[in-house]
């Protein structure tokens, strides 16, 4: 285990991203003037993501091994077809979206609703339209610190040229109507060829449906963590992508393939949460609803931050943290950790002792087991 990390007051302020801190950009992509796509708002909370605008505001640029952004779109507005080289995960926090895929959107369509998560395979074209009754908000989790950018569908690039927009090979937007000059010494992106499109793998609607995680089809566990039986513990953990932090040997995620990060839901009744622990992954806590309290560090160094709806907190690897629902209703929080493997928790000593008194321990594989049956080293 790496050394314990102490989060300073300045760090805690920098790592806390309030909903009110989000800054939109309406010229993030080459389709920003295309009718039907010209009212998108793009956000980059953690990392630049795949934005093509030099003016994009990024709330926290520190590398995490993954990136988090968002798209806000009024009803009827479309994000045009494009493909990614690294994982793109849609986190629907408000609204209803029609997802489509294939170079011309011809391979299939599925609806994504509030509270649902979709992991879109790499190297396939995808797009989405807000079909909900009002403005929608779709968070995105992207794999890796360097995403490589995106490839737009040929029709998107061709239409953008009619509005004076071009894209350089290093993913920079050139806006000739705003006074930019086409660079002479930099290569512009050429549309992907029909032959290259034909070589891309297809996905059926049935295959894509397996990559949609809903509150009903994921595996929730009330015995997912060592503190399950302790006061202040007892949160439900729902695995979406990867095994993540679970200490329940029977729990399996909805989606297994590597993303460069793992994602899970916390569902907590008032007063419950996760007791003090740390691990070696970089973590982002995203409050979907409710009121949450997060305490980082221990003892005299302990610092507290409260998170409301859509607020998020980045917690460094090696720092202790405790999480609790301090609102009056059941609340949901999304947890994103770096890495593709299991996230092995180191619990505060007092939590380990209290769990032992309650009859629980972790076995040598890091899973919850009866304390009386787990061999202990003699001192």
Radius of gyration of the chain (CA): 22
Q: Which of 165, 192, 212 is the last residue of a domain?
A: 212
193 and 225 in a single domain? The answer is: no
224 and 308 in a single domain? The answer is: yes
What is the residue range of 63's domain? 31-212
Structural domain includes residue 340: yes
Predicted local distance difference test score (pLDDT) of residue 379:
39
Q: Which of 157, 182, 212 is the last residue of a domain?
A: 212
End-to-end CA distance of the chain: 21
Mean pLDDT of 343-351: 98
Structural domain includes residue 58: yes
Map tokens 């839901």 to a residue: 265
CA–CA dist 322, 326 (Å, integer): 12
48 and 92 in a single domain? The answer is: yes
183 and 233 in a single domain? The answer is: no
Structural domain includes residue 12: no
50 and 192 in a single domain? The answer is: yes
Q: Which of 212, 246, 275 is the last residue of a domain?
A: 212
Mean pLDDT of 119-125: 98
- Quote the tokens at residue 174: 């050139």
pTM for the whole thing?
A: 0.95
189 and 255 in a single domain? The answer is: no
364 and 227 in a single domain? The answer is: yes
Mean pLDDT of 290-314: 98
> 273: domain CATH number?
2.60.120.10
Structural domain includes residue 20: no
Domains in the chain: how many in total?
A: 2
Tens of pLDDT, residues 173-193? 888 988 888 888 888 899 999
177 and 255 in a single domain? The answer is: no
82 and 157 in a single domain? The answer is: yes
pLDDT at 120 over 80: yes
Structural domain includes residue 351: yes
Predicted local distance difference test score (pLDDT) of residue 1:
60
Predicted local distance difference test score (pLDDT) of residue 307:
98
356 burial via Cβ count (<10 Å: 0-12, 13-18, 19+) = middle
């Amino acid at each position: 285990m790496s050394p314990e990390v102490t989060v300073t007051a300045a760090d805690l302020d920098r790592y806390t991203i309030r909903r009110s801190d989000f800054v939109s950009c309406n010229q993030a992509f080459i389709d920003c003037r295309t009718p039907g796509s010209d009212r998108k708002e793009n956000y980059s909370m953690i990392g630049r993501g795949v934005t093509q605008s030099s003016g994009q505001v990024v709330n926290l640029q520190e590398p995490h091994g993954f990136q988090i952004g968002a798209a806000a779109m009024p009803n009827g507005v479309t994000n045009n077809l494009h493909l990614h080289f690294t994982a793109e995960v849609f986190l629907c926090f408000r609204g209803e979206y029609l997802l489509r895929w294939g170079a011309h959107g011809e391979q299939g369509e599925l609806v994504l609703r509030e509270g649902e998560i979709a992991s879109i395979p790499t190297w396939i074209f995808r797009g989405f339209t807000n079909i909900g009754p009002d403005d929608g908000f779709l968070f995105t989790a992207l794999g890796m610190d360097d995403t490589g950018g995106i490839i737009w569908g040929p029709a998107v690039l061709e239409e953008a040229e009619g509005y004076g927009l071009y894209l350089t090979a290093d993913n920079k937007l050139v806006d000739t109507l705003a006074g930019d000059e086409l660079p002479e010494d930099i290569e512009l992106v050429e549309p992907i060829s029909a032959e290259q499109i034909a070589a891309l793998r297809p996905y059926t609607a049935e295959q894509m449906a397996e990559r949609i995680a809903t509150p009903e089809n994921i595996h929730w566990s009330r015995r997912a963590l060592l503190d399950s039986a302790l006061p202040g513990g007892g949160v439900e953990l729902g695995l979406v992508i990867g095994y993540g932090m679970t200490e329940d040997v029977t729990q399996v995620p909805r989606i297994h393939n590597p993303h460069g990060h793992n994602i899970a839901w916390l569902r907590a009744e008032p007063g419950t949460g996760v007791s003090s622990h740390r691990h070696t992954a970089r973590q982002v806590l995203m409050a979907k609803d409710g009121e949450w309290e997060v305490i980082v560090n221990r003892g005299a160094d302990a610092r507290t931050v409260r998170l409301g709806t859509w607020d998020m907190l980045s917690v460094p690897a090696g720092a202790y943290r405790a999480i609790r629902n301090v609102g009056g209703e059941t609340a949901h929080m999304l947890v994103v950790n770096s890495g593709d493997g299991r996230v092995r928790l180191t619990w505060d000593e007092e939590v380990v002792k209290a769990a032992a008194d309650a009859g629980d321990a972790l076995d040598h594989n890091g899973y919850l087991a009866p304390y009386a049956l787990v061999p202990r080293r003699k001192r």
